[in-house]
Chain A
């Protein structure tokens, strides 16, 4: 159990996990993990790095509306010409497969090795195949 008393940080253990340097690991609140009041919705951000490539998920951010989300995405995720196009999508609007059902959900593809070219044995002397 992690103590929530901030004074406990005094005798706390420290580690380099701050990335930028050591921070205490005991006597630090981890956060409730409970969904809290929040006015601004979460957006997922997708960036096309150059023409001819797909948009790729790069992270997320909060914004009051779609337009602000797009501007913030530009500032947060493309400060060094990382993109030529950005999509922002409300996280609420994404329907995702469930990790718990991963195996049954993808099972139909699991036993169909004949869908891969390497399933077929072709003599070495046959060219261009």
Chain B
């Protein structure tokens, strides 16, 4: 490290220590930049891939009201991906490049989206549990040390609240319906409970990299803290719905003032992230197809812009 770099590094460390934000044109350690690019890119990919499980139900939504809500929600996911790609780009990475990394499977997205949505109740349960877990993860990111990421997360968190509430309201309607509808809600909860717990990542003991991210102010709480918070939030919500969370080990611990609960199957989790989940191939193939099928639109827009620019130039010269 040169003397100039040492000075810059001290400014960076001081900024982090004072809990202030790092902005794109500030000097930052190369590892900090790489960690953020990877994190924000994979977060963006998760939003983009996250359109698919629920998009599956848009054409089969049971009413115009539910269809309009679901469309708005899926459109939000696309918007979240756009905010995040923009935040990643401010770190000097190109959007085209990270999109290609996604469709070539060299960057990943959240494991949760590799589970199928065979039931309409899944739309509600995803809003309730999956978006609920996402909110637990994302709210602390609003105070992330990297400014553009933190600002994107503030917008996203506001919109996630709509996602979670529409899901819960959908489930309320179903549990107040027929026995068959109540069974659908329970069945979907049984499938999504464990994958939702996995969303927080492995237990802290198995997550040594977290310490560096916490020191940099990128991550604010450990995986286990966030998982505990999610469980404590969710239990009373499940009671109102009258659904049973499928964990025989789940009980209130008066001594700790929190719930005890069982660990999900981490081998399954690793398998799903590595590519052997129920829908990995389908999700990626769909994304690749959409990217390739949309190429002509991007090219046409570009050709039109060039034609207009040429005309303007000609007009100016004349």
A17 at the interface (CB under 8 A from B): yes
Contacts of B210 on A, CB cut-off 8 Å? Answer: 15
- When C-beta atoms are compared, the residue in chain A nearest to B157 turns out to be A19
Report Cα–Cα, A46/B159, bound state, in Å: 20
A22 and B202 contacting across the interface, CB-CB below 8 Å? yes
Determine how close the nearest CB of chain B comes to the CB of A80; give it in whole angstroms. Answer: 8
Contact of A20 among B34, B94, B110, B226 (CB under 8 A): B110
Contacts of A9 on B, CB cut-off 8 Å? Answer: 108, 273-274
CB neighbors of B among A1-59 (8 A): 2, 4, 6, 9-10, 12-26, 28-40, 42, 59
Contacts of A13 on B, CB cut-off 8 Å? Answer: 202, 206-209
Contacts of A12 on B, CB cut-off 8 Å? Answer: 273
Report Cα–Cα, A125/B223, bound state, in Å: 58
Report Cα–Cα, A9/B91, bound state, in Å: 24
Query: How many residue pairs bridge A and B at CB < 8 Å?
Result: 197
A33 and B107 contacting across the interface, CB-CB below 8 Å? no
* Interface majority SS (helix, strand, loop, mixed), chain A: loop
A84 at the interface (CB under 8 A from B): no
- Give per-residue flags for B73-84: 1 if the beta carbon is below 8 A from chain A beta carbons, else 0: 001100100110
Interface residues of B (CB under 8 A from A): 8, 23, 25-27, 33-35, 37-39, 41-43, 46-47, 50, 72, 75-76, 79, 82-83, 86-98, 101, 105-113, 130, 133-134, 137-138, 141, 148, 151-153, 156, 159, 198-202, 206-210, 213, 218-219, 223, 226, 269-270, 273-274, 298, 301-302, 304-305, 308-309
